[in-house]
Amino acid sequence: MFRVSRLFSSQLLKCNHNIQTLFSSTQLAPLCTVGWARQTRAFTTEADKGPSLDQLKELRNISGAPLKEWYAVQRIFEAKDFKKDKCTHSQKKKKNSKKALAATKSIEEALDWLRSQGVNVAQKKSTQIATNGFIGCVTSAKSRVASLVEINCVTDFVEKNPLFQEAVQDIAHTIAHSSDVNDTTTRETLNSVKVIPFPKPGSEQSSLTSTNRLVSEALTDIISSIRENLVLRRFYRMEASPNGLIGTYIHSRTTPILGMKGGLVHLETNTDINKLNEKQFNELLKLSKNLAIHCVVNTPLAKYLKREDVPNGEVQKEKEILLEQVTKEGAVELEEVQFLVEKKLEKFFSDVCLLQQNYCLEDDSKLTIAGLLQNSSKKLKFDIQIKKFVVFNLGEKSQ
């Protein structure tokens, strides 16, 4: 073991003619990346190194945990004897890089371990599998039908290509308006559906006129011209009954229907939408759009509509994590432990269940989505319920 400062000083004195060679040498290469402030940092052997930088970066991006806690689980990824690397929870601020309480190499288990130690981990984000492309969102004239589609490309250069943008718009429009697309349609069957082009501004083209070109051909034609692979990753078609409508929202928009995130919210009422007066319809449509905005931009993102939708296995797993948390926080009495676990479990439900989330577009931080629906029902004089919602974030792993 030797220190960089000593090596650097020695090499600098000896090297009077080729400073470039000095910095490109294998031993001094780290100086170029860590900066001059870390010249005194000791080199370690390959065997002493923890997880790879990519693994740590992935865990950091997913968890959002502080940097000191980010390094706290680095030993989790090592294929070593974990017993000799264990340390107590109280030592984490002093020996972050040496801590490991579970022998696992899974990102998911590493996140659970962080949370069990009381670390304020951000909501688990899905693993990113793509960074380029678009989420396309199209809705019908009366907001009865809407669609979301994600199409990925390899480079951001292709994102700016008008042909690619037009293809995403056409496919999203086809999913919303084609009679050949329904709840049972898969990606394979969608490829054989005829494209219904998205109407261009100012054109007299009907929004329901199909072409002889298939969805698969819409992409392969572009692939052959730009020589870059395009992937139709996923899509969703939502259709409301005569008593309902669908609110849509596209975030980080490139065009009015293309962006990086998109959401749909299906509202159902106990009255025929067509019989509403203009003011009532506009109020209901505004509510649906605001709820779609909430679903897309709120943190954490809702995974379920209500608490009854959360799988029992997920609830039990959360209870185990919370039990370990409160135990480490010093709770000993059985009644105290149960009280704290139930209290934290309510916070868990308010994070993952849409109806229990606080409405992010309201100044009143205590107004939940369920409360917003109740207030709107009283105001419009008919019952309003959320039947389903869908959110696509570009590049996220499908649940």
Q: What is the pLDDT of residues 48-91, one digit of tens each?
A: 455 566 666 665 555 555 555 555 555 444 443 334 334 443 34
Query: How are the residues of the chain apportioned to helix, strand and coil, as percentages rounded to the nearest 5?
Result: 45, 15, 40
- Alpha-carbon distance of 216 to 378, in angstroms, equals 47
| Pairing relationship of beta strands 258-259 and 384-393 according to DSSP bridges | unpaired
Query: From residue 364, how far is each of 214, 288, 371 by CA, in Å?
Result: 49, 19, 11
What is the pLDDT at residue 286? Answer: 96
Q: Could you tell me if 264 and 248 are in contact, meaning their C-beta atoms sit under 8 angstroms apart?
A: yes
The residue count of the chain comes to 399
Q: How far apart are CA 216 and CA 368, in angstroms?
A: 43
- Rounded distance, CA 379 to CA 280, Å? 9
Compute and round to an integer the Cα radius of gyration of the chain: 27
Kindly give, in sequence order, each residue whose CB lies less than 8 Å from that of residue 160, ignoring residues fewer than 6 positions away.
none
Percent of the chain with pLDDT over 70: 65
CA angle 295, 170, 389 (to 5 degrees): 20
Give yes or no for residue 28 having a pLDDT over 60: no
- Decide the pairing of beta strands 261-269 and 258-259: unpaired
137 close to 248: Cβ distance less than 8 angstroms: yes
Q: Are 99 and 73 in contact (CB under 8 A)?
A: yes
- Tens-digit pLDDT profile for residues 146-183: 999 999 998 888 889 999 999 999 999 999 999 999 98
pTM > 0.75: no
The band of 285, judged by pLDDT with boundaries at 50, 70 and 90, is: very high
Q: Which of 352, 237, 236, 379 is nearest to 295 (CA)?
A: 352
Task: 63-71: list long-range contacts, CB under 8 Å, 24+ apart.
Answer: 63/111, 63/114, 63/119, 63/121, 63/122, 63/124, 64/121, 64/122, 65/114, 65/119, 65/120, 65/121, 65/122, 66/119, 66/120, 68/92, 68/93, 68/96, 69/96, 69/114, 69/117, 69/119, 71/96, 71/97
pLDDT in tens, 85-144: 344 433 443 333 234 333 345 656 666 656 665 555 444 444 445 579 999 999 998 899
Average pLDDT estimate for 197-204: 74
Residue 312 burial (CB count, 10 A): 7
Distance (Å, whole) CA 129 – CA 138 = 24
- State residue 87's pLDDT score: 41
Mean pLDDT, the chain, as a whole number? 76
**Domains, the chain:** 1-43 (no CATH), 49-125 (no CATH), 133-301+382-393 (3.30.479.20)
The DSSP bridge partners found for residue 139 are 146
| pLDDT number for residue 365 | 76
129, 149, 153: which is closest to 227 by C-alpha? 153
For the record, the structure tokens of 374 come out as 């109740």
Q: Which of 257, 283, 256 is nearest to 269 (CA)?
A: 283
Amino acid at site 260? M
